[in-house]
Amino acid sequence: MERLRVVMSIQSGCSKCGKPAVYLRRYTSEYLCGTCLVQTTIDRVRKTINRHKMLTDNDRIAVAISGGKDSAVLLHILYTIESAYPNSEIVPVTIDEGIQGYRDEALESARALSRSLDLTLEVLSFKELLGYSLDGIVKRRSSNALGACSYCGVFRRRALNIAAKNIGADVIATGHNLDDEAQTIFMNILRGDSARIARTNVPRELSVDGFVPRIKPITEISERDVVAYAHYLKLPYHDFPCPYAEEAYRNDVRSFLNEMEYRRPGTLLATLRSGESMTMAYRQAPTTWEFTNCEKCNTPSPSKICKVCELLESIRS
Ligand code: SF4
Ligand SMILES: [Zn+2]
Ligand SMILES: [Zn+2]
C-alpha cells in the first residue's frame, strides 16, 4: 500500500524539533515528526500561493474536491491557511461525472471531509448539466469515438466553471500535486506541444472573461508528501482507480520521473521550474490565443463551436 510505503518508522530524530521522526522527505533530506511534516507542508503551500499571487484576503474560493487524497489535502491546507483571513471563504465543490461504483463512493469521502471541517459540499453532476452521466456517454459514443477521459476532462472543466459561477466564487483551486504537474510538463514536451504548458497555466490576473480563474496551490507538494500528510492526519479519502482510467502514456512518464526522482531527488521540482520558465517565455512572446464566443452556448472559446458543444453533438448524433 502506498500509505505504508511513505510513512514508516524511522530510527532518527526530527530535523526540525528533535522529536521521533515518522517521515523522510527525500528531496530535502529532512527527517520529520508528524507535527513538522504538517507544518512544513502548509508553509510550502503558503509560499506557493504568495509567490504566484494566487489569493487575496477576501476571496470566495471554490475548492474542487474529488474525494481523492490530493484534493483532501488541498482542502485541509487551504482551510488552515484561510482561517487567518476572516473575509475569505472556502466552498468545497465536487463534480459528479456519474461513474457508478466509483464517483458515488468518492463523494462519500468528500462529504465526510467537508463535514469534519464544518463546510457544506456543493455538488454538480454531468447528468444535471448535460443530460447524460459519463456512464451514459460511454454507452452512447460510437465505436471509433474518443476514450472516456477525453469527454470527462472537457465536460468536468466546464462543469467546474459553472459550479464556481453558481456559488459566486472568485477563484477555483484544484489539487494538482508536484508529480502530476511534472508529468504533464514532460508529456507536453514529448508530444512537441510545449506551448500548451503556458496555455494551461494562465495566471489569475490574465484569466479570460467568462472563466473563473484557476489556481493550483499544491503544485510544489510531492505525491509522497500528500500521502504522508493525509495519512498522519487521518483525512478521509477514496483510494481506488477510476474504471475508465486509460493513462498508458502518463504511466510511462510517471515511471520514468519516479525513477529519476529516486536516483536524483529534486528532479520533479526542477521539471516544474522548467515549466514555469517556458510559461514565462511564451507569455512574453506575441500570442495568438484569441477567444470568440461559441455559436451554440456563448461560452468563450478559441473556435466557433466550443469543445463541449462539439463533443455533445457527437454523442447526440
Ligand atoms: S480517469 Fe478519466 S474518466 Fe475517470 S475520472 Fe479521471 S478523467 Fe474521468
Ligand atoms: Zn518535528
Ligand atoms: Zn459551446
CATH of residue 218 = 3.40.50.620
Q: Is residue 300 in some structural domain?
A: no
- Domain containing 135 equals 50-285
The pLDDT of residue 2 is above 60 = no
Given CA atoms 224, 229, 233, 238 in this order, what sign does their dihedral have?
negative
Q: What is the pTM of this model?
A: 0.92
| Residue 19 within any structural domain of the chain | no
Phi-psi region of 264 (alpha: psi -120 to 50; beta: other; left: phi over 0): beta
Q: Is residue 38 part of a domain?
A: no
pLDDT exceeds 90 at position 236 = yes
Residue 10's pLDDT is: 63
Q: Classify residue 299 as exposed, middle or buried by CB count within 10 Å of its CB (0-12, 13-18, 19+).
A: middle
Integer Cα distance of 12 and 36 in angstroms: 14
The residue whose CA is least distant from atom 5 of ligand 1 is 242
Q: Cα–Cα distance between 109 and 102 in angstroms, integer? A: 11
Residue 280 lies inside a defined structural domain of this protein: yes
Report the pLDDT value the prediction gives residue 85, as an integer from 0 to 100: 96
Residue 28 lies in a domain: no
Give the pLDDT confidence of 271-297 residue by residue, as tens digits. 999 999 888 887 776 555 678 999 999
| 21 located within any domain | no
The whole-number pLDDT of residue 249 equals 86
Between these two residues, 286 and 12, which has the higher pLDDT value?
Answer: 12
* pLDDT at 1 (0 to 100): 38
pLDDT band for position 3 (cuts 50, 70, 90): very low
Among candidate residues 60, 65, 87, 88, the one with its CA nearest the CA of residue 76: 65
Q: Is 245 in the pocket of ligand 1 (CB under 6 A)?
A: yes
Q: Note the Cα 142 to chain centre separation in Å.
A: 30
Please check whether residue 141 lies inside any domain of the structure.
yes
Q: Output the CA 310–ligand 3 centroid distance in Å.
A: 7
Query: Is 23 a domain residue?
Result: no
Cell of 157: 472543466
Ion ligand 3 neighbours (CB, 5 A) are: 294, 296-297, 306, 309
**Between residues 203 and 272, which one has the greater pLDDT?**
272
Note the pLDDT of residue 206: 81
Position 60 pLDDT exceeds 90: yes
Instruction: Locate the ligand 1 atom nearest the alpha carbon of residue 156 and give its number.
Output: 8
Q: How far, in Å, CA of 269 to CA of 293, rounded?
A: 37
Which triple of cell numbers denotes residue 182? 511534472
Looking at the structure of the chain, the number of domains it has is 1
Handedness of CA 94, 100, 105, 106 (dihedral sign): negative
Measuring from atom 7 of ligand 1, which residue has the nearest CA?
149
Residue 252 CB-half CA count within 13 A: 6
Contact predicate 270/261, CB 8 Å: no
The CA distance from 278 to 240, in Å, is 34
User: If pLDDT is split at 50, 70 and 90, which confidence band does 207 have?
Assistant: confident
148 vs 155: CA distance, rounded Å = 11
pLDDT value at residue 56: 96
244: CA distance to ligand 1 center in Å?
6
Tell me the ligand closest to 137's alpha carbon: 1
Q: Which amino acid is at 125?
A: S
Number of other residues whose CB lies within 10 A of the CB of residue 245: 13
Grid cell of 294 as nine digits: 461559441
Q: Is 242 in the pocket of ligand 1 (CB under 6 A)?
A: yes
Q: What is the pLDDT of residue 4?
A: 39
- Is the distance from the beta carbon of residue 149 to the nearest atom of ligand 1 less than 6 Å? yes
